[in-house]
Structure formats: structure tokens, C-alpha cells
Structure 1
Amino acid sequence: MDVAFVSNVVYPFVTGGAEKRIHEIGTRLVERDHDVTVYGRHFWDGPRETTHEGMTLRAVSPERDLYGEDGQRSIGEALEFAKDIVRPLRRNAANHDVVVASVFPYFPVLAAKLALAGTGTPLVTTWHEVWGDYWNEYLGTLGPFGKAVEHATARVPQYPIAVSGVTADRLAARGQPRERIRTVPNGIDYDQIRRVEPAPDAFDVLFAGRLIEDKRVDVLLDAFDAVDTDATLGIIGDGPQRDGLERQAAALDSADRVTFLGFLDDYEDVLAHMRGARVFASPSTREGFGITYAEAMAAGCTVIGAEHPDSAADEVIQDGGFLVAPNADALATTLMRALHGAAPPSDPKMVAQQFDWGNVATDAEEAYQAAIRRKWGGI
């Protein structure tokens, strides 16, 4: 099988969830004797076409900043990459059995569909999230434009993969028949996580993620402050809410036990803190998947997530952790129980192991082959 991935950013030269998924699945497909090509921007040193861990990397656009001064993804960057992908992808379409495009940003997906028109090569899409009305919050007056592009992308003929049932349901609400949507979750390197030594300066309670409103770190701070304990809280990550959260933390009775670590460049440093923590708490109300829950369970943490219709936390945590209402009182109660040794019904490590990249790659491989054979559900 010859698989082509379309992604403006390429891991490990740019780090992020969508590009890491491509890397982890792609390298495992190579190990299984499949050919893998990644079409992206030229973020690596050396020639425009090179080989990395067995995969062919093919630059169709120069390196460019992905974010504008406002911290949001650049629409101009997405449009430029979409324009640049059409000709090389069409020229090489006959060499690929299937093309897999990450849905965000949307324009490259639409461009890939245009490039493959009439070639017979199927387009598989990977949906990490479906934003819907959240576009209004993200883009303000341009929100209707974001919603319209998302809606148009959802209705393009494709073989759609969602990373969770929540994302699949939201995609179906935008016109893609639910029976046609396959679910292939995101993954973790279980053995890597288990090999990492716990951080010597680890915290009792840990959060890791982008500091934005939906992560509800403000709720976590209030809940932690309400717990009668001498436990410590570490917050890994950065984002637009960091200054406000640090001010909130400084006013708490537990201020001397709360530490903001910022963004950690080395992924294994994050894992080391997870391996050392007793509890991982993230009351996030918007999670297309929630990879940190799986990582923390693999690390052996007692995990607490929020039960919310816009979050797939329940699909990841299952019975390997605890789910609470996303408010300070509910979180504080469960946090206290966890710090006093309350254990979930199932071993978190066993639940996490199902998300190992080897298992995810097998599911993805089967999905790609189904698209090639035109044996996709509902088609």
C-alpha cells in the first residue's frame, strides 16, 4: 500500500498532535512494508525531498509562520499551502493508493480533493475536532466564515475518520452520514511512557495543556485551594490565560503550593512529571480526544476529567479514572478522595494500553485499505 499524507506541518520539525499522529502511524506503516509520503512545508534542513525514518518528506511550500500576531492560525498560510499542494499531488496521484489529509486547516483538504478529481485515488480525512459555533468565539466577526468552510469540508465526498465518538457525532451533525464515519483514536507510546524515570521534583497534582478558557484551569485552582491538604500542584503549559491564572493562584491560600512550569520543550520532561504525580486533573470542557488523559493513565496517575457533551474525556478515561462535573465543588471532592488513595474500578495503565500507537496504526491501516477497496461502511 502506498499512502500519502497531506499536512502543512511535519513532525518532529514542528510539534503538535495532528502531525505527531501522522508520524507515529506513518513510521509504523513503513515498518509493515508500506510506502509513505508526507506532503508538507519545508521545515527541515536539506533538500525539498528527503527521507526521514523511512518516510519520504516532500516539500511543496516554503517554511512559514503558522500563527498571526493575534496568536490564531493564519488563514493566509492555509490558503497558500492549499494552492501549492494541488499540482504536485495531482502529478503523483497515480503513485499513491490513498491520500490522507488532516482536516484542520480545511483549505488543504479541499485542495487535495480537487487534485484527486478523476484520478480514482480515494481521499481519507482525519477529523480531530468539529468546532461549529466555537468559530464565533475563535474568529469573532469572521466566525460565520470559519463555520461555512468547516460545513463545506464536511460535505465533500470523502472517507472520514474521527478521533473520537464525540467528534464523529459533531461531524454527522454537519451533514456527513454517521454510518460513514470511522473512529480511529489518537495514541500514545505506552512503552516510552513507562520507561521514563519520575521527576525528582514532581508534584502531587498535575495539569498539562494549553492555558485557554476551555481547559478550565481556573476551576482546578479553586478546587485545589478548597482541599484540606499540604499537596502541591504543578501546571504545565502556556497560553493566553496564563497571566490571569497566575494572578488567581497568587491570591489563593494555597499560593505557595502552586507552580506554573510554562511550556516544556522536552516531551519526556512532561512524562517525567506525569510519572511522579499522584493525580492528574484536567476539567477541560472541550476535548476532541484528550491525549493527556491517556498519557497520565499510562504513567500511573489517578486521572480526573470533566463530564461534558463537548469532551471525549469519558471515551479515553472510561473506568480507569474519575469523571466529575466541571465545577470547583465536584472537582474538589474527587480530588480529595484521589489524594487519600481512592482508586478507579480499572487499572489506569491497562486502560491506557489500548491507545498504544501500534494498536492505533493497525486501525488506521485497516481504514486506509477499506477506502482503497471501497469497502467503507455506508458507501
Structure 2
Amino acid sequence: MNIAYVSNVVYPFVKGGAEKRIYEEGTRLVKRGHSVTVYGRHFWDGPKEQEFDGLTLRAVSPERELYAGDRRSIGEAVEFSKDLLRPLQRHRREHDVVVASVFPYLPVLTAGLVTGIARTPLVTIWHEVWGPYWNEYLGAMGPAGRAVELCVTRVPQYPVAVSGVTADRLAGIGPARESIAVVPNGIDADRIGAVEPVSTGFDVLFVGRLIEEKNVDALLQAFDVVAAEFDCRLGIVGDGPARETLERTAEDLHHRDRVSFLGFLDDYDEVLAQMRAATVFASPSRREGFGITLVEAMAADCTVVAVRHPQSAAEEVVGDAGFLTEPTVTALVGGLRSALQGERPQTQPTVAAKRYDWDRIAEQSERVYAHAVASYGST
């Protein structure tokens, strides 16, 4: 197959889960005999079109800042969608299937227009479905965000969700549940296992963007309780708009000297080295479309403590390979206490993590794309 991916950001020049999925999956599909082109912004050095690790990178829009303040730039999404139209239209007959990463939504509308004209199947990758969260994210503009998300669900497509939770939420606003394939995000399990741990790690580690939904304030409060019982330290890796508030919360803890904010770590191996050295990986997030850090932590052989929540796929992803609690301080105390006492989950975390190895994910995606090509026009 000749496969085209549409993503305004391109890994490894921009680091993020959606673009990393395209890179890891795409490079493996090339090794399996397919041709892969990525349409994105010109974040790399050199010509607008070039080969990179077997992929054809095709820049359709110049490099641009992705954020306006703490939120993704609407203007950036509009510009990329506009700039995508002519190049994708020009090369439309080269591709057997177009695969669009849904966020930031507007490029899917452009891809839907071009694939409709070219009579080419469009596969969409849904990492999250925001629904009511739009109101919190955009305030007064929230209804507009929800309208765009709904509009994208109406584009003729073969939808793929990264988890059953995300698939269920997508079915609630658009496609029939049986039409949505579930193909999770992945990891390189062997690479994670080969990373050398840092010499002095943390007993409890959190990795993620510091936003309200990650529920890190509850983790801080729970850690303060267990720190009275155990000689332990908490490391928080990540940055975000809630960092200053969380740092103030940490200052009020009885055991504030055992909490460290490491900020955002540019080097992925440095993050993995922290995971490899940690005893417990705590992720109290109330909203996760998938939760790739959970799988990375399991591959690093951490004991994962995560929470159950209707808007989170953590229970689906972790299963019995970690401890799952309610997203409250009291419940988190129980989970942390069990893990710090040395209790281990029913399933070995490293074994569970191998289900998400990128080689397996690429094979699953290959089947979805082949099905879209074979069935397009007959459904």
C-alpha cells in the first residue's frame, strides 16, 4: 500500500504521542514493504520534501508555534488545514489510503474533502474525544469546539480509537460503535528495558503534563500521608499551567522536603531512566484517552498505581498489572501504601507491557488500512 499520514507536527522534530505513533508505526510499515508519506509542517532542517528513516516527509506549511498561551493555537490549525489542501490534492492519486491524526480537527476536514474527490479511503486516529471538556478548555468558545468535533465525526471515514473508552465516547457523538476499530498506542518494550536507571531515583514517580485533570494535587496529599510511614521520595516530571499551584501545595506539606519537581525532560531516555529507577509509578489522572506513560512504566517494571474514572482508559490499559483506585486522596493512600509495602500486581507489569509493543501495533494498523482499501466503495 501507499499510505499517507496527515499530521501538522512530525516526530522526532516535535515530541508528542500522536506524532510518535505515526513515526513508530510508519517506519515499521515501510519495513513491511509499504510506501509512507507524512504531510506536516516544516519542522525539520533541509528541503521541504526529503526521506527520513524510510518515510517521505512532505512539508505543506512552514514551522509555527503550536500554542497561544496555554492552549493550542486555533490560527495554527486553520493555516495548516488551508495549506494542506493543494499538496494533498496534487498527490491524491499516489495514495491508496490517507490516515489523519484527528487533533487539531480542522485538517481532517481538508483530508475528507480531498479523499472524497479522489475516491480514496480516509482513516482517522482518535486519541481522545473531548465532548463537554471543550467548555472547560475554551470557555465561551467551548460550543464552537464541540461543533467542530461533531462535524469531524460526520466526515466519511474509517475511525480508529486508541482505547475502548475512547471508542465508546466517539460512538456517543458519531459513528456506530461496531464501525470503530480499536488499535492502542505502543511502546518499544526492549528499548525501555535496556535503559540504564538513574543512580538515585524516586520511590514514587509521576510523569505527565501538569494540568488539573491529572489530579496531581491529590497525589501530593496522598504522598504526604504515606511519607509519614515510609522513608520515600516523590519525583514529578513534567510541566504545565498547574505547576505553580502544585508547587505551592507541596510547600504546605509536612514532608515537602521529599518532593521534587523536575520539570519537562527533553531527553526521552532520561524520562525512561527515571522510570527504571522508580519503585512506584503513580498516575491519578481523571482523563486519559489512552495513557502511554502507564505502559512505559509497566515496561520499566514499576508498580503502577492509577485510578478508575469514566473518562480514563487507565483501567483498560493497566488491568491486573497494577493497582487501581478511586481518584480520591484516601484511595490513593491505600494504593501507594500497598505498592510501597512491596505488594505486586497479579500480572507481571513487563509481561503486560509487551501487548503494546510497536511491532504488534503496526501489524494491527496494517490490517485496518488494508481493510479500508479493500472495502472502500462497497459499504
Say yes or no: TM over 0.5.
Answer: yes
Asked if 1:178 corresponds to 2:177, the answer is yes
Aligned residues, how many?
Answer: 377
Instruction: Give, in whole Å, the separation in 1 of the partners of 2:371 and 2:119.
Output: 14
Query: How big is the shift at 1:191?
Result: 0.6
Deviations 1:38-88 (A, max 9, x none): 0001111111100000000001101111111x2211111101110111111
> Does structure 1 conserve the Cα–Cα contact (< 8 Å) formed by 2:121 and 2:376?
no
> Does structure 2 conserve the Cα–Cα contact (< 8 Å) formed by 1:50 and 1:58?
yes
Query: How big is the shift at 1:118?
Result: 2.7
Residue in 1 that maps onto 2:133: 134
> Does structure 2 conserve the Cα–Cα contact (< 8 Å) formed by 1:274 and 1:296?
yes
Instruction: Give, in whole Å, the separation in 2 of the partners of 1:337 and 1:283.
Output: 15
Residue in 2 that maps onto 1:307: 308
Residue in 2 that maps onto 1:337: 338
Residue in 2 that maps onto 1:261: 262
Instruction: Give, in whole Å, the separation in 1 of the partners of 2:335 and 2:106.
Output: 43
> Does structure 2 conserve the Cα–Cα contact (< 8 Å) formed by 1:298 and 1:349?
yes
Instruction: Give, in whole Å, the separation in 2 of the partners of 1:326 and 1:4.
Output: 40
Residue in 2 that maps onto 1:23: 23
Structural mapping, 1:249-288, within 5 Å: 249-288=250-289
Structural mapping, 1:109-188, within 5 Å: 109-188=108-187
Instruction: Give, in whole Å, the separation in 2 of the partners of 1:118 and 1:43.
Output: 29
Query: How big is the shift at 1:157?
Result: 1.1
Question: Which shifted more, 214-223 or 366-375?
Answer: 366-375
Query: How big is the shift at 1:375?
Result: 7.2
Structure 1 counterpart of 2:98, one-letter code:
V
Structural mapping, 1:1-379, within 5 Å: 1-68=1-68, 70-227=69-226, 228-374=229-375, 379=379
The CA RMSD over aligned residues, in Å, is: 1.1
Unaligned 5+ segments in structure 1 are none
Instruction: Give, in whole Å, the separation in 1 of the partners of 2:38 and 2:13.
Output: 13
Instruction: Give, in whole Å, the separation in 1 of the partners of 2:321 and 2:87.
Output: 46
Instruction: Give, in whole Å, the separation in 2 of the partners of 1:352 and 1:18.
Output: 19
Instruction: Give, in whole Å, the separation in 1 of the partners of 2:281 and 2:43.
Output: 34
Deviations 1:7-30 (A, max 9, x none): 001000111000000000000001
Instruction: Give, in whole Å, the separation in 1 of the partners of 2:117 and 2:36.
Output: 22
**SS of alignment partner, residue 295 of structure 1:** helix
Instruction: Give, in whole Å, the separation in 2 of the partners of 1:231 and 1:73.
Output: 37
Structure 1 counterpart of 2:205, one-letter code:
L
Instruction: Give, in whole Å, the separation in 2 of the partners of 1:336 and 1:170.
Output: 33
Structure 1 counterpart of 2:335, one-letter code:
T
Query: How big is the shift at 1:188?
Result: 0.5
Deviations 1:299-327 (A, max 9, x none): 00000111000000011101100110000
Instruction: Give, in whole Å, the separation in 2 of the partners of 1:152 and 1:80.
Output: 18
**SS of alignment partner, residue 354 of structure 1:** helix
Q: TM-score scaled to structure 2, two decimals?
A: 0.98
> Does structure 1 conserve the Cα–Cα contact (< 8 Å) formed by 2:126 and 2:159?
yes
> Does structure 2 conserve the Cα–Cα contact (< 8 Å) formed by 1:87 and 1:115?
no
Instruction: Give, in whole Å, the separation in 2 of the partners of 1:286 and 1:30.
Output: 33
Instruction: Give, in whole Å, the separation in 2 of the partners of 1:299 and 1:234.
Output: 16
> Does structure 2 conserve the Cα–Cα contact (< 8 Å) formed by 1:155 and 1:174?
no
> Does structure 2 conserve the Cα–Cα contact (< 8 Å) formed by 1:280 and 1:304?
yes
> Does structure 2 conserve the Cα–Cα contact (< 8 Å) formed by 1:194 and 1:298?
yes
**SS of alignment partner, residue 197 of structure 1:** coil
Q: TM-score scaled to structure 1, two decimals?
A: 0.98
Instruction: Give, in whole Å, the separation in 1 of the partners of 2:351 and 2:119.
Output: 41
Deviations 1:117-175 (A, max 9, x none): 23121000000000000000000000000000000101211000000011101100002
> Does structure 2 conserve the Cα–Cα contact (< 8 Å) formed by 1:218 and 1:245?
yes
Structure 2 counterpart of 1:34, one-letter code:
H
> Does structure 1 conserve the Cα–Cα contact (< 8 Å) formed by 2:120 and 2:376?
no
**SS of alignment partner, residue 9 of structure 2:** coil
Instruction: Give, in whole Å, the separation in 1 of the partners of 2:307 and 2:236.
Output: 17
Percentage of matched positions with identical amino acids:
62
Unaligned 5+ segments in structure 2 are none
Instruction: Give, in whole Å, the separation in 1 of the partners of 2:212 and 2:375.
Output: 41
**SS of alignment partner, residue 226 of structure 1:** helix
Instruction: Give, in whole Å, the separation in 1 of the partners of 2:261 and 2:162.
Output: 30
